[in-house]
Amino acid sequence: MIRNIFLLLLLIGIIFSCSVPEETDTGKVKVVATTGMLYDAVINIGGDKIEAEAIMGPGVDPHLYKATQGDLSKFNKADLIIYNGILLEGKMSEVLEKLGRQKTVFAVAESIPEEMLLPSADYKDAFDPHVWFDVKRWSLIVKEIKKSLAAIDTANANYYQKNTNIYLKELDSLDSFAKSRILEIPENSRILITAHDAFSYFGDAYGIQVKGLQGISTVADFGLKDIANIIDIIISNNIKAIFVETSVSEKSINAVVTGCKEKGHEVRIGGYLYSDAMGEFGTLEGTYLGMFRKNVNTIVDALK
C-alpha cells in the first residue's frame, strides 16, 4: 500500500515536471527600459513584483544606439516598455513607435509639461531630452512610471505607491545635497564644460552655466570653431577644469586642453562625468542616486 502511494506520488511528480514550459512564467509584469537611469527607476518602484531589463548598459551612447535582435526579442516579450523619448533614443524611434501599436510603450520625458522642458540647441522646435539631470523633473517621471505600472498591475498598485513614496524622499535629499554642494563653487567659477550638451537641466536646476562642445546629440561632429569658442570661454573666465563623459569619446575634450595650453592657460580634466549612461550595474554609480552624487562631487571638487 505504502509502496503504491509512493509510486503514485512519483508518477505525479514526473507528470508535473514534464508539463513545466521551458521558460517559466512567473506571472510578474515584464518591464523593459532603454537606459540604465530608467531601469533603475523601474526597479526602485517595482521591487520584487516585476521583472525588469535594461537595453543599454554602462558607457553606451543612447543617441547612437541601434536595437539588436536580442533587444527586439526583449521588447516583444515585455508587458511594458519604458523609454526616455524626445529623440534621445534617436535610432530606435521607429522600432519603439511600431511596438506602441501593439503594447504599452511609454516615452516618459514626454510626460513632463512643455513649459518645464528646455529647448534643444541642435534642432529648431525640439526639446532637450536629458531630463534626468534635474532631480525634480526626474521625480515627476518616477511618479509617471509608477502610474503606468499600477495601471497594468492593479493588484500591486499599493505596493508600487509605497515604494515610490520611499524613493521620492531619497530623491528629495539628493536634490538638497546637489544644491548645497554647488554653492561651494565660487559664483564666477560656476561654469561646467563637457563634451556634449547633456547638462542643461542640471545647470538650470542647480545654478551652474553649462557649455557643451558637441551640442545636444552626439550624432553631429564638433568642429574647430566649436573648440576655439570653448577655449575662449575657458581663458576669459579663468576656468580650472573641464570634464569628460563616460559615454562620449575624450578626443574633443583633449583637443580643448591642448588648445588652452598653446595659449598659455592650464586647464585640467576634472574627471569623468556620467552623462547619458551610468556605471556598472551592481555598483553605487550603477544607480541613479549614486551616479548623480558622484557627478556632483566630481564637479564641485574640481571647480571650487
Residues that bind Zn ion (CB under 5 A): 198, 276
Position 75, amino acid: F
* Residue closest to 63 by CA, chosen among 88, 94, 82, 39: 88
Residue 44 beta carbon to Zn ion: minimum distance, rounded to whole angstroms: 23
Q: Is 269 exposed, middle or buried (0-12, 13-18, 19+ CB in 10 A)?
A: middle
CB 130 to Zn ion: min, Å = 6
User: Could you tell me the smallest distance in angstroms from the CB atom of residue 214 to Zn ion?
Assistant: 9
Read off the C-alpha cell for 145.
Answer: 512610471
Question: Nearer to Zn ion by C-beta: 31 or 277?
Answer: 277
User: Whose Cβ is closer to Zn ion: residue 79's or residue 110's?
Assistant: 110
Give alpha helix (H) positions in 153-199: 157-182
C-beta of 226: minimal distance to Zn ion in Å?
Answer: 16
* Residue whose entry in the numeric block shows the C-alpha cell 537641466: 201
Cβ closer to Zn ion: 121 or 140? 121
Residue 159: burial class (beta carbons within 10 Å; 0-12, 13-18, 19+) = middle
Whether 242 and 267 have beta carbons less than 8 Å apart is answered as yes
The CA-atom distances, in angstroms, between 69 and each of 55, 63, 77, 100 are: 11, 18, 13, 18
Rg (CA), the chain: 23
Report, in Å, the least distance between residue 120 CB and Zn ion. Answer: 11
What minimum distance in Å lies between the beta carbon of 136 and Zn ion? Answer: 20
In terms of CB distance, is 45 or 198 closer to Zn ion?
198
User: Do 117 and 123 touch, CB atoms closer than 8 A?
Assistant: no
Give the nearer residue to Zn ion in terms of CB position, either 67 or 277: 277
Q: Which is nearer to Zn ion, 153 or 197 (CB)?
A: 197
